[in-house]
Amino acid sequence: MKSSLSRKFLLLLGVIFVLNLIQSYTTPLIFDEAYYWHYAQNLSWGYFDHPPFVALMVKLGGLVFEGELGVRFVSCILSAAMMIVLWLCIDDERKKNYEVHFFVLVFSMALLNAYGFFTLPDTPLLFFTALFLYVYKRFLEHGTWLWSLALGLTMAGLMYSKYHAALVIFFVLFSNLKLTLNKYAWGAVLIALACYVPHFIWLFDNDFVTIKYHLFDRPNDPYSFTKYTLGYFVNLIALFGLTFPWVYWSLFKTKNTDKFTKALLFLTYGIIIFFFVSSFNRRIQTQWIIVITIPLILLVFRQIMAHNSIRKWIFRTGIANGILILYLRVGLVYESISPIYYETHGNKEWVAQIKSEIGDMPVVFENSYRNAPMYQFYAHVPTYSLNNLMYRRNQYSIDDSESKVQHQKILYISRRPSNADLEFPKGDGKMYYGQFIDDFESFRKLETLIEEPVSLNFEQNQTFKVYNPYNEPIDLSKLKFNIAYLTPYKDVKDRMAIKATPLEKNISSLPAKDTVSFSFKFPKPKMSDPTYFRIGISENGLIHGINGVNTKFE
């Protein structure tokens, strides 16, 4: 490795690494980073939205540094390591003449640049994708149990980073179907599965909550060509900025000359085609396709070495991209020079404003897994996101955050001005309102269960069950029930109260760790032909929660 990394390469890498460290230290957290910091407060083999590697990164960084740098330190290391691994994937002696061009190419990619210091699940995904390609290249050259072990561990690292990693593994292995007859390839698969067993166990223990949410419970919108498919092509351009014509030209010009090149092509085209097809069903976020930057760096750099015109244009437009990116990076820290409001702006200020008025009082945010961890990170007090039927479930729905604010005086913050004891604007200009609650009590972990196929009949008695997972019984007088009617895209349109009667007589409470059956009748919704319904529970006058899954009418 030492012979492959020249002094110039290490110097250029060191400049970017130090720049990322400085950026990490000076830039306030973005909301997703705060959310993953919340993950890291309780290490686990899985979390509501993602596998656990991002939480491990935050935890390890926090052992070395405090504050924002602690959250991002491992990201800076993985970003630098990713560039080294990509460089080692290039087995062309000419590469030493174009080290500056390599860094211009990498630095010119805006999202790849951002993930050089932001701590998000895509950061380890990018590193392990590069490492996977490197190991796969060596595996093709030396099919041994040692490389089989390395390949298996790398695949496990990919899957522990983000579920989209399955596409990376599939398209690379699909490019070489002869691997189905290769004992070392099967060994790598078995090693990866063995490493992934703890996450499988976590999913099972948590009723596959992550899979159910991503596949079945996420709301969607009606198809829009402009918003979905055209927006997807805009994202493909935005990934590369001014260099995009030459990046895609390099892709189209690349010939399938060997198994490794074939893997790079299958991975790139596979991801592009997969999400193009997906764009007819949902809006594709730019970060979902960022993984194509890894194989494209290798393919484009080949063209840089081989073609003078491509080399000049990539260098010129890459420099222009890099200058713009540097300006925007400074704008992340100094709002006054930023052309747009960004989520790094103003968070410390609104947190400080609230804390100056309430001190160390816990804060409960209505429907905000973003604001709750941000406030906790900067104010160092317990917070909780109370999710209701108009929002979505998240990590606060399954962890122990609720227990830390029970029966305490708290400030309840929402976007609703009624009965507000204080109000404050955030940096985005939106007004938020706070109400003091002297003895906060919530039961958001109660589950409503529908066990039989249901048709929308307004006269017939229906049944559902409520499971109480708490260690204490819950007085039924504290609870009220409602029905949420949803569209085919799982948007809540109607919310109506229902009278739920226990099937057993003389039931006045929900027993701890037990289930109670109730009867009810569907109220007539204002909307026509609802597709889904969900039964929610309100406790102590709070807005009804997300206590059940979206159930489709027959």
Long-range contacts: 136-140, Cβ < 8 Å, 24+? 136/172, 136/260, 136/263, 137/89, 137/260, 139/184, 139/185, 139/188, 140/176, 140/259, 140/260
pLDDT of residue 29: 98
Residues 163-190, buried b or exposed e (16+ Cβ, 10 A)?
A: bbbebbbebbbebbeebeeeebbebbbe
Cα-to-chain-centroid distance, residue 490: 20
The CA distances from residue 63 to 31, 35, 78, 81, 512, in Å, are: 21, 18, 16, 20, 39
pLDDT digits (tens, 9 = 90+) for 341-377: 999 999 999 999 999 999 999 999 999 999 999 999 9
8 A C-beta contact, residue 99 and residue 7: no
pLDDT digits (tens, 9 = 90+) for 166-209: 999 999 999 999 999 999 999 999 999 999 999 999 999 999 99
Question: Mean pLDDT, the chain, as a whole number?
Answer: 95
pLDDT of residue 216: 78
pLDDT of residue 2: 43
Q: What is the percent of the chain with per-residue pLDDT over 70, rounded to a whole number?
A: 99
pLDDT digits (tens, 9 = 90+) for 496-544: 999 999 999 889 999 999 999 999 999 999 999 999 999 999 999 999 9
Confidence of residue 426 (pLDDT cuts 50, 70, 90): confident
What six digits make up the tokens of 113? Answer: 């640049």
